[in-house]
Chain A
């Protein structure tokens, strides 16, 4: 079965720097990779979706890449702010709306 891994449980960076989070998957390429933000005691909030035939997606300070050769998605937050501190989850789905699997998440702390 496919596994979704996120490279670090926690990541600390200085305010203003770019945060880069990694999501790796095994076996076959998922059709979709999604990134979510989750604050403590809250449900995840959708951030970005990237399809397997897309290399990159951007939304304001966020950027997601999808490399099917490396079986990896990178999630970047530029000009990071303390308010960006949260847990970030990647999730894959084979079909849109089906076979949804979440990674364990990376807890990002942006230090002032």
Chain B
């Protein structure tokens, strides 16, 4: 079956620093990857959609300069939270689609900015 690996599973960083989160499709080629954030007891909110080799499409209200997305290959997408602040603390989840597997989600990354 399709597996999406997300790393790290949790990270604590200081305010003002940048954090990179990786999302890899392990056994299929992900033509499209999605990035979500989820606040406690709330649903997943789509941040951006990325296709391999092209620029990501950001949802309204998501700062593209703050949340940098790179989908450099068919198996890897990265989300970099730049100049992180405490309000960026959240649960970030990626998902990937491709190869006829439908949607597969990563296990999520808990980001805490202190």
Contact = CB atoms under 8 A, between A and B. Distances in A.
Contact of B44 (A45, A46, A102): A102
A30 interface: no
B43 A43 contact: no
A26 to B, nearest CB: 15
Contact of A97 (B43, B46, B97, B105): B97
A102 B36 CA distance: 10
B43 A104 contact: yes
B4 to A, nearest CB: 8
Contacts of A45: 105
A43 B42 CA distance: 13
Interface residues of B, number: 24
Nearest to B10: A41
A100 B43 contact: no
A43 B105 contact: yes
B26 to A, nearest CB: 14
A105 B108 contact: no
Interface residues of A, number: 19
A49 interface: yes
Given A45-B105, A46-B104, A100 B34 contact: yes
B6 interface: yes
Contact of A43 (B46, B49, B95, B97): B95
B32 interface: yes
Interface in B52-111: 91, 93-95, 97, 102-108, 110
Contacts of A98: 49
A89 interface: yes
Interface of B: 4, 6, 32, 34, 41-46, 49, 91, 93-95, 97, 102-108, 110
